[in-house]
Amino acid sequence: MHTFALIAMSVGIAALIGGITNHLAIKMLFHPRNAVYIAGRKLPFTPGIIPKRKDEIAESLGQVVGDYLVTSEGLAGLLRQPEFQSRIENRLRAVLQELAREDRSLKEWLTDKLGEEEAERVSEQVEAGLVHGTDRLMQWLVEEKGVLQRPLEAWLPGDAESRKEEWSRRLADLLVKELSRQLLSPSGAHLIRSLADKLMDQAGGVLGMLAGIFMDPDRMVQKVQPVVLETLHSPEVRSALAEFIRQQWDRIEKKTPEEAIRYFAEGEPADVLRGWVRKRVPWRRWVDEAASRPISSWAAPIMPKLEEKLPRAVERGMDVAASQMDKIVRALDLPALVGQQVKHFPVEQLEQIVLAVSGKEFRAITWLGAVLGGMIGLLQAVLFTVMR
């Protein structure tokens, strides 16, 4: 009986030692978090293996992820998979359909999603981007295309010469028609009466006195108006007006927009043009008006066309992204990115994740240590009993 108690005690103590040893070994992966000092000397195996080697683990993990797990070839292949493209297409279609039913304005929607301050900042950024884009367009037209240095005749179509005569005649006819309308109006009659009064005043002497006595201003207007109108509609006057317009046209078309801007405004022509465009293109008002409209008002009408073109757009977008995946991965620098994330990841959360995933295996290792310890204790007890 004494022998069996000795064997049982030996097995129990050895199993306990084996289980505790494995349990401590597992705990020492994460504990202690920091180095422990006694009398100015650091205790061995402190901090734990993972806290001590966290930077090295982060660098190695980042290298493994960048070189073997998340590669440009793998990502490009994923983007080209029909199943992946189908999921993207379905997700985008759901978003578009949701927008087509959205009764809130874009401003209200952004305020709900981002907050009032952030929504206002987005609106200001959109306006600034549009203004910047317009300025860049003006700069490109001025510097690259030289629009301010090109004479006006360069902007006219190739058959401008044949059209000059026609346009000159049309302008002359329009001018005659407008002048006739003005002369037949009350203001035109008043103008003729004023001219007649000035002529009589300038005549002076006996002639002026007789004209003032015997000539009625109203009758003079009735006499003068038909003569002036007949003269305006005469072929000679029309031809003279057309020739005058043609001469002025020939003179103006040799000028450049830069010369015209310098003549009418002060400052550098490019700056004047940019300022003029900014005043004529009210991006702020347009952005506010667009943001104040219900999303469905502009999304619903174009929804059928968008849904029709969505599969092709997704396919082309994924192809473009896949073809540029090498550059994207290099720009992201995944090894460094993963390494930085792991370095800043709390050890406590890392321990929780590892235990949640491998808790059963760790407990099995603890029990395995107890079983192996018990077997060793049993062997020792048997050998001690036999030898005794």
Residue 49 is assigned to a structural domain of this protein = no
pLDDT at site 205: 47
Residue 322 is assigned to a structural domain of this protein = no
User: Per-residue pLDDT tens for 115-154?
Assistant: 888 888 988 899 999 989 988 888 888 888 887 887 776 6
User: Per-residue pLDDT tens for 239-252?
Assistant: 888 888 777 777 77
80-109 core/surface letters (b: 16 or more CB in 10 A; e: else): eeeeebeebbeebbeebeebbebeebbbbb
Residue 367 is assigned to a structural domain of this protein = no
pLDDT at site 63: 76
- Tally DSSP H helices, then E strands, for the chain: 20, 2
Segment 265-284 mean pLDDT: 84
Residue 145 is assigned to a structural domain of this protein = no
User: Per-residue pLDDT tens for 57-100?
Assistant: 777 777 777 777 777 788 888 888 889 889 999 998 888 888 88
The domain of 177 spans 158-255
Residue 225 is assigned to a structural domain of this protein = yes
Confidence of residue 158 (pLDDT cuts 50, 70, 90): low
Question: Which residue(s) pair with 294 in the sheet?
Answer: 105
Residue 64 is assigned to a structural domain of this protein = no
Residue 321 is assigned to a structural domain of this protein = no
pLDDT above 50: residue 214: no
Distance set, CA 154 to CA 18, 150, 257, 285, 347 (Å): 95, 6, 11, 35, 72
User: Strand, coil or helix: what is 282?
Assistant: coil
pLDDT at site 208: 46
pLDDT at site 20: 84
pLDDT above 50: residue 49: yes
Confidence of residue 39 (pLDDT cuts 50, 70, 90): confident
User: In the chain, how many domains are there?
Assistant: 1
Q: Please state whether the predicted TM-score (pTM) of the whole model is above 0.95.
A: no
Confidence of residue 113 (pLDDT cuts 50, 70, 90): confident
